[in-house]
Amino acid sequence: MPGWLGWDLMKILIAGGGQTASLVAGRLIREGNEVVMVEQDAERCRKLEESLDAKIVQGSAASIGALRKAGIDEAEMLIALTSVDQINILFCLVASVESKAKVRVARLRTHEVDNWRRIFQQAQIPIDLIIHPETDIAERVLRVLHVPGVSDILDFADGRVKLFATNLDEGNRLANKRIEEIDTSKLRSHGLIAMIFRGHQAIIPHGGEILRPGDTIYFMSLADDLDAAYNFLGLKTQESLERVFILGGKQLGIEIAQQLEQKGVSVKLFEKNAERCELISRILKKTVVIHADGTEEAVLTEENIEGVGAFLSLTGHDEDNIMASLLARKLKAKKVVALINRLNYLPMVQRLGIATSVSPRLTAVDRILRFVRKGRVISVTSFREEEAESIELIAAHGSKVVGKPLKDLHLPRECIIGAISRPDGEVIVPRGEDSIQPGDRVILFALEKTVAKLQSVFLAERRS
């Protein structure tokens, strides 16, 4: 039976019950799938049973007995998301014998992930996707470093459409104006405002919406018009990124430092653990590794932080990352990025003026769901605590939306069509008179509570 996202509903076995596993399970359950989770910790099992409509099996994901109890032989999709790489690897090994699942996904955090990919391939252990959150986050961070006022940049339609986020301050010429009052011709030529986040509120905007100082707006633009869109919103790019400070010598900090070295950027990395500093110094070739607490103002001032192109706070502690980012802003770093693990911190971080924050958990969730969805849905991306989503899908020949002017579709108010990409490569920011044709890629933005309603509008076939 096909689900509303265009792929068959399945029996899914998830190894692990942490926050990432819980987020993935919740999304898959809401889409009608049957989910079983294997988790070793008894208290976590209790919380999962209270919050999810899933079967919870207490036990190790590396235990053959526990996996058989969870029905590994019947599962059609397997997802390994425990916090221990070795257990995820053993889970995959057991699954290669005990399961005939169609889809297998595993998360690994080790820096040796490429070696493990090779070993799985040579050993003919079938895994469709190995995700490495640090690599995905590094790519996301590097995309925004050259634009101080932009906190996120996402690609759609094979890169022909861009979605970027920025915070509105009091001095922005768009602040306190209704969307319909803004210079409409310029706004239409450069793109549209697809989403607004205001404190804990997520808004799909329409003409009467007033933009408020402190809002985080997501602006959708054609790739060819991206620089013009930046100018329209008063954003300036850095001509060259010369200096970057990185706080935290974990794998993510090292990964980003290596990539910045290759681009000729001068990097200073701050790490409190002396042994870790020695290890990092052997890995990085040009980065200056400083054994010091990068959350202290005196340390940063002594290292000449003022005017630094970017300050990346990437420790494993959210509170340290928040405090260090606020300090870096005070000391006039041009761009500040904070790694945030707790999703409920994200709205607070934005209110504090830390424009760019990245979440390993949301990044992993999106990576998994983007892969496992097949058929007409190309990607689904979550924002903040899953309050809103972007959906890229292919319009079906028999869909109710095909051939009708958009103004006549009567879409839910909490949904907006951001762009349409034609099969011939043409991309448009649609208006009321435009229509969707069979095979078009349609990029939608919607509140999470509205997503299920889109089934009958975009993917359901007309009945004879």
CATH of residue 222's domain is 3.30.70.1450
| 282, part of any domain | yes
Give 39-90 pLDDT, tens digit per residue: 999 999 999 999 999 999 999 999 999 999 999 999 999 999 999 999 999 9
- Looking at the structure, do residues 220 and 247 belong to the same domain, yes or no? no
pLDDT at residue 212 tops 70: yes
CATH code where residue 255 lies: 3.40.50.720
Residue 114 domain boundaries: 11-131
Domain identity same for 36 and 76: yes
Number of separate domains in the chain: 4
3-class SS letters over the chain: CECCCCCECCEEEEECCCHHHHHHHHHHHHCCCEEEEEECCHHHHHHHHHHCCCEEEECCCCCHHHHHHCCCCCCCEEEECCCCHHHHHHHHHHHHHHCCCCEEEEECCCCCHHHHHHHHHHCCCCCCEEECHHHHHHHHHHHHCCCCCEEEEEEEHHHCEEEEEEECCCCCCCCCCEHHHCCHHHHHHHCEEEEEEECCEEECCCCCCECCCCCEEEEEEEHHHHHHHHHHCCCCCCCCCCEEEEECCCHHHHHHHHHHHHCCCEEEEEECCHHHHHHHHHHCCCCEEEECCCCCHHHHHHCCCCCCCEEEECCCCHHHHHHHHHHHHHCCCCCEEEECCCHHHHHHHHHCCCCEEECHHHHHHHHHHHHHCCCCEEEEEEECCCCEEEEEEECCCCECCECCEHHHCCCCCCEEEEEEECCCCCEECCCCCCEECCCCEEEEEEEHHHHHHHHHHHHCECCC
Range with the largest mean pLDDT of 194-203, 266-275, 429-438? 266-275
Residues 208 and 284 reside in one and the same domain: no
- Is 238 a domain residue? no
Which of 96, 131, 166 is at the close of a domain?
A: 131
Q: Of 305, 340, 375, which residue sits at a domain end?
A: 340
Mean pLDDT of 96-110: 91
Same domain for 211 and 308, yes or no, is: no
Same domain flag for 127 and 153: no
Instruction: Answer yes or no: is 352 within a domain.
Output: no
Is residue 198 a part of any domain in this protein?
Answer: yes
Q: Which of 39-43, 210-214, 311-315 shows the lowest per-residue confidence on average (mean pLDDT)?
A: 210-214
Q: Is the pLDDT of residue 462 over 70?
A: no
Is residue 406 assigned to a domain? yes
Same domain, 18 and 111: yes
